[in-house]
Amino acid sequence: MAQAQASLNSIYTEIKRLRHEVELIRTALIPEEKVSDEEMVEILEIDARMRRGERVRFADALAELNV
């Protein structure tokens, strides 16, 4: 059982390392866009909604964006 836990821990550690490497590659390949203060507020609001687990109908989201 201890060996299985050690394997899970090593897999978890490797996944975290790979995730970090992918983020570094993404940052290097995709230039950052400049966002306005208003856009940043909107992004942070969306992030907060996602963390709270809120769900929004697609049509409602498009309506909010006036699309």
Structure tokens at 33: 């866009």
Q: How confident is the model at residue 9 (pLDDT cuts 50, 70, 90)?
A: confident
Same domain? For 38 and 25 the reply is no
pLDDT for the residue numbered 1: 65
Q: Which domain holds residue 25?
A: 1-32
3-state secondary structure of 43: helix
Same domain? For 28 and 38 the reply is no
CA distance 29 to 17: 19
Q: Which amino acid is at 62?
A: L
Please give the tally of structural domains in the chain: 2
pLDDT for the residue numbered 49: 86
Contact between 11 and 18 under an 8 Å Cβ cutoff? The reply is no
CA-CA-CA-CA torsion sign (50, 55, 59, 63): negative
pTM of the model: 0.40
